[in-house]
Structure 1
């Protein structure tokens, strides 16, 4: 790797010394498991040994870089992991989605048996304010954006955690998961039951455990509600009260670990639902790209 400072990028706005520090960190970060000698770093970046030594000594002092005292080799440091949490990495994407949709947007992460809100942006005046740390139990019918791409066995375990579902519910959930995979997003209908059950489930998930009461409440909601919105229900002129639209965020190996949600809490027609879903999916894809670039450090 040779350090070439682009005059068009650095003139009047960037600092060459800072560019050299960034180049050192990018070189080490490209292969965080490897240790580099001062000569390898200096030669690879086209900087003098004195400059390289000064940069590395400062980075070591702040634990951005580690130095093996016996081998005199340098590697990616532990302090870097604390600098880039998802709540910070994805702030721009969340703010852009909130501004484009005029809704509150939040980023959630699966944590064992709970879905935890780790960042929020924007505001929906008609919706209850969701804050960081809010938890929802990962129990059917919630978390569809996480299980739609799972194995049939994982989907069955998720569904049957609330008890043996009725044939009607099993059929509905199967159709919904198939449609979720096709279009890429989940739609949560806005009903009185949704508001009551969602609030109750948040309260019950404080300790992160899905107990019998949580499972029974989720099952009652699933049995009494129409889950999601299927294509046949999006006919021209039809409108639906929509609480939220969510899309999964996948890792490089196609595992869903997070999701992004826009919460309009409004009545939308088919076109508006589809448009909102596409925007949320685009944001999820952008966050996924950044996540896979920098690694999951939450």
Structure 2
């Protein structure tokens, strides 16, 4: 491959030496499994061998780049992985969303049978305090943003893990999953039952296992609650008490592995719910693009 440093594109206080370092890292990072000779790097970037050697020697010293002692070839280094944690890669996106919405925002990851919060930004005074590492079980009706794009078989297994659902619940969940795919976000209603059940489920999910008690509690909540908000419930002038709005983060293969959530814990008009959902969805898409570009290093 050939990458060229176009210094004509730099403006203001841009530093040409820094641009050359970035170009070296981008060249190696574009094919991290390959080893490059000094000549290939220098020729590909249009820099002198002396400049290339000086840059690479510094990067090797910090383990951003490795140098094979036998072949003298260079490759992507192990220190880069330690810099590319989601908490670092996506913190600006979360902070921007929190500032724009005035809510607490958090990034969650699916880890086997649990959804684990891995980063947080902002604050919602009315919301319960949630910290990094907080877990909730991946059990219906929670995790809808993770299963809405899955196969019918996966969706059925997720729903039936809490026991055989009633016809009414099955119908509601089916409609909600369809709507989630259409609009791209999930809405969690704020009710007294939600607050109690959510806290209880967090306590039950410390070991990451969905046991009989967890399943029964989730089923009772699903049977007694109105899950999500559908289009005919978002008419003009309608208001709803909203706990959270979440959107999925997808891999290039369409698999949902993470999600972004904004937690207003407030009564919102229909237009505000839709607007918040669109903002959360846009942030999730931006994070997904970066995740797919740099890889999931967590």
TM-score (norm 1): 0.96
Q: How does 1:146-165 map to 2 (within 5 A)?
A: 146-165=146-165
Work out whether residues 3 and 20 of structure 1, in 8 Å CA contact, stay in contact via their aligned partners in 2: no
Tell me which residue corresponds to 2:66. 66
Structure 1 residues 112-166: Cα deviation after superposition (integer angstroms, max 9, x where no partner): 1111111111111111121111111100000000000000000011011111111
Once residues 2 and 211 of structure 1 are traced to their aligned partners in structure 2, the CA distance between those partners, rounded to angstroms, is 53
CA RMSD of aligned residues (A): 1.3
Once residues 43 and 7 of structure 2 are traced to their aligned partners in structure 1, the CA distance between those partners, rounded to angstroms, is 19
1:34 aligns with 2:34: yes
Work out whether residues 87 and 118 of structure 2, in 8 Å CA contact, stay in contact via their aligned partners in 1: yes
SS of the aligned residue for 2:57 comes to: helix
1:252 aligns with 2:215: no
Q: Which moved more, 1:99-108 or 1:230-239?
A: 230-239
Once residues 253 and 216 of structure 2 are traced to their aligned partners in structure 1, the CA distance between those partners, rounded to angstroms, is 34
- 1:242 Cα deviation (Å)? 0.5
Work out whether residues 24 and 41 of structure 2, in 8 Å CA contact, stay in contact via their aligned partners in 1: yes
Structure 1 residues 150-198: Cα deviation after superposition (integer angstroms, max 9, x where no partner): 0000001101111111111111111110111111110000000000000
1:283 aligns with 2:283: yes
Tell me which residue corresponds to 2:271. 271
Structure 1 residues 195-252: Cα deviation after superposition (integer angstroms, max 9, x where no partner): 0000111111111111111111111111111110111222222211100100001111
Tell me which residue corresponds to 1:196. 196
TM-score (norm 2): 0.96
Unmatched tracts of structure 2, length 5 or more:
none
Once residues 71 and 8 of structure 1 are traced to their aligned partners in structure 2, the CA distance between those partners, rounded to angstroms, is 35
Tell me which residue corresponds to 2:137. 137
SS of the aligned residue for 2:10 comes to: helix
Once residues 79 and 117 of structure 1 are traced to their aligned partners in structure 2, the CA distance between those partners, rounded to angstroms, is 25
Once residues 6 and 77 of structure 1 are traced to their aligned partners in structure 2, the CA distance between those partners, rounded to angstroms, is 26
Tell me which residue corresponds to 1:82. 82
Tell me which residue corresponds to 1:114. 114
Count how many residue pairs are aligned between Structure 1 and Structure 2.
297
Once residues 62 and 205 of structure 1 are traced to their aligned partners in structure 2, the CA distance between those partners, rounded to angstroms, is 40
Once residues 217 and 73 of structure 1 are traced to their aligned partners in structure 2, the CA distance between those partners, rounded to angstroms, is 58
- 1:2 Cα deviation (Å)? 4.7
Once residues 251 and 68 of structure 2 are traced to their aligned partners in structure 1, the CA distance between those partners, rounded to angstroms, is 32
Structure 1 residues 263-286: Cα deviation after superposition (integer angstroms, max 9, x where no partner): 111111211111111111111111
Once residues 140 and 166 of structure 1 are traced to their aligned partners in structure 2, the CA distance between those partners, rounded to angstroms, is 13
- 1:3 Cα deviation (Å)? 3.8
1:9 aligns with 2:10: yes
SS of the aligned residue for 1:36 comes to: coil
* Residue 78 to residue 115, structure 1, CA distance change in 2 (3 Å): same
Q: How does 1:199-238 map to 2 (within 5 A)?
A: 199-238=199-238
Once residues 34 and 8 of structure 1 are traced to their aligned partners in structure 2, the CA distance between those partners, rounded to angstroms, is 28
